């Protein structure tokens, strides 16, 4: 039967990792997949994660199943992290949720739940959005549309066009927002924008679906959850897909969560039973290890403080690189790159043509996504000059 299948092209992001690995050039630079890298170019295991693993190995007594929702402790702690301890949705007990295999697992489980609850709804995603959003959500059989987001001229948010488009989204549809650190553009709405967005969503009866994959890597854990909290204040229903790949460096352990805010606390058990069933009929239940580490860290005051410090260091390194790149790229190419400094998270578009992206890869061994998205964290003191020289050569 497999003769009916056609070979597919490599994944737009993951394919770059394989191509980079096979490139023999010593000076090659990987600015592709979104993983944090330190000054040495490594993606280290956080010290707090290592400590949590030690505690886990010392205290774990069983490998029995944990059930479709994952552990109650994990779900409660990540809710507190995203909504803040005092948010009304927590006090009012209006949240159902599941621990998931990564943020992707959360996004897909959310889409499957939406399919059960409102099969004809459309999910509106920003233009552009993360390359895997449409395949991941669309594979659940949901219709996807886009709303304008990024302004190629200003390299910022196309606020007017976005708000005008959202004001026309049919009632009952869902709108996917990046909670912070927009992937791929690095352009985030400001407080006033979030307030406008929330007003439109609440007035039109649109359900926000928030992808929170980079909390803590933009400005701070609380600042990066501002949009989500504003939306949760204004809208009666909401879904949040969160990932702990980046902020805990737990990429391969696949740790995420889907939290669902319901209109009333009376609806929570019904929604919980449905999302448990979605999980049970997809992969039965999530893996335990990575989420257990997050639970240990968030549940221990001293470890929590130490983790926030490690997260601060990652973020400060990225934001420091943004300053360096904005200044040095301008000096090297004679073009304006000040937008890099204003953007947040791991990614920015360099704003160069697909031909220039190809030349950087072919001639210089510098790998980035075809849209010219770079992972800022891939730059370090050892490769900066070569990166600048290469950009100067290709861009001038
Ligand atoms: C990225 O955008 O590079 C990351 O989110 C990793 C991925 O799975 O694509």
From 124, 173, 224, 246, the catalytic residue: 246
Measured distance CA(176)–CA(191) in Å, rounded: 17
Measured distance CA(28)–CA(40) in Å, rounded: 14
Q: Which residues of the chain fall short of a pLDDT of 50?
A: none
Architecture of domain 10-44+304-395: Alpha-Beta Complex (3.90)
Task: Report how far ligand 1's centroid is from the alpha carbon of 107 (Å).
Answer: 13
Task: Report how far ligand 1's centroid is from the alpha carbon of 3 (Å).
Answer: 31
Please state which CATH number belongs to domain 65-299. Answer: 3.40.640.10
Nearest atom within ligand 1 for CA of residue 13: 9
Strand 347-349 with 373-375, pairing: antiparallel
Measured distance CA(164)–CA(324) in Å, rounded: 36
Backbone angles phi, psi at 342, to 5 degrees: -85, -20
* Residue-level pLDDT at 5: 97
Nearest atom within ligand 1 for CA of residue 104: 8
Closest to 380 in 3D by CA, of 390, 371, 388: 388
What are residue 375's DSSP bridge partners? 347
* Residue-level pLDDT at 120: 96
Whole-structure pTM value: 0.97
Task: Report how far ligand 1's centroid is from the alpha carbon of 343 (Å).
Answer: 18
Q: Is 33 in the pocket of ligand 1 (CB under 6 A)?
A: yes
Q: How many residues does the chain have?
A: 396
Measured distance CA(250)–CA(245) in Å, rounded: 4
130 is catalytic: yes
Residue nearest to atom 4 of ligand 1 (CA): 34
* Residue-level pLDDT at 396: 80
The residues spanned by each domain of the chain are 10-44+304-395, 65-299
Task: Judge contact between 326 and 388, C-beta under 8 A.
Answer: no
Residue nearest to atom 9 of ligand 1 (CA): 13
Residue 73 is encoded by which pair of tokens?
A: 């402790």
143 is catalytic: no
Measured distance CA(258)–CA(212) in Å, rounded: 10
What 8-state DSSP symbol labels residue 46? P
Burial class (CB in 10 A: 0-12, 13-18, 19+), 260: buried
246 is catalytic: yes
Task: Write out pLDDT tens, residues 173-193.
Answer: 999 999 999 999 999 999 999
């Amino acid at each position: 039967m497999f003769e009916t299948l056609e070979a597919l092209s490599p994944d737009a992001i993951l394919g770059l990792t394989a191509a980079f690995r096979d490139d023999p050039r010593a000076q090659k630079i990987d600015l592709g997949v979104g993983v944090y890298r330190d000054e040495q170019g490594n993606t280290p295991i956080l010290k707090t994660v290592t400590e949590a693993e030690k505690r886990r190995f010392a205290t774990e007594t069983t490998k029995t199943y944990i059930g479709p929702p994952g552990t109650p402790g994990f779900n409660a702690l990540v809710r507190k992290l995203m909504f803040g301890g005092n948010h009304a949705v927590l006090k009012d007990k209006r949240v159902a949720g599941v621990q998931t295999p990564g943020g992707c697992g959360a996004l897909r489980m959310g889409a499957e739940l939406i399919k059960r609850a409102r099969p004809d709804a459309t999910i509106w995603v920003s233009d552009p959005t993360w390359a895997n959003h449409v395949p991941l959500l669309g594979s659940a059989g949901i219709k996807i549309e886009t709303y304008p987001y990024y302004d190629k001229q200003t390299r910022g948010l196309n606020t007017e066009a976005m708000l005008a488009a959202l004001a026309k989204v049919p009632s009952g549809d869902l709108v996917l927002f990046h909670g912070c650190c927009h992937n791929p553009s690095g352009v985030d709405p400001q407080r006033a924008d979030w307030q406008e967005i929330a007003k439109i969503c609440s007035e039109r009866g649109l359900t926000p679906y928030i992808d929170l994959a980079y909390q803590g890597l933009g400005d701070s854990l609380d600042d990066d959850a501002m949009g989500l909290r504003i939306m949760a204040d204004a809208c009666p229903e909401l879904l949040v897909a969160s990932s702990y790949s980046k902020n805990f460096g737990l990429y391969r352990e696949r740790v995420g969560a889907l939290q669902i805010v319901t209109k009333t606390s009376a609806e929570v058990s019904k929604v919980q039973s449905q999302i448990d069933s979605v999980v049970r009929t997809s992969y039965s239940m999530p893996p335990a290890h990575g989420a257990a580490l997050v639970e240990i860290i968030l549940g221990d005051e001293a470890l929590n403080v130490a983790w926030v410090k490690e997260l601060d260091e990652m973020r400060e390194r990225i934001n420091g690189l943004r300053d360096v790149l904005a200044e040095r790229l301008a000096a090297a190419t004679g073009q304006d790159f000040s937008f890099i400094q204003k953007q947040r998270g791991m990614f920015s578009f360099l704003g160069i043509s697909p031909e220039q992206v190809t030349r950087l890869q072919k001639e210089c061994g510098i790998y980035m996504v075809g849209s010219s998205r770079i992972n800022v964290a891939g730059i370090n003191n050892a490769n900066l000059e070569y990166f600048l020289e290469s950009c100067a050569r290709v861009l001038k």
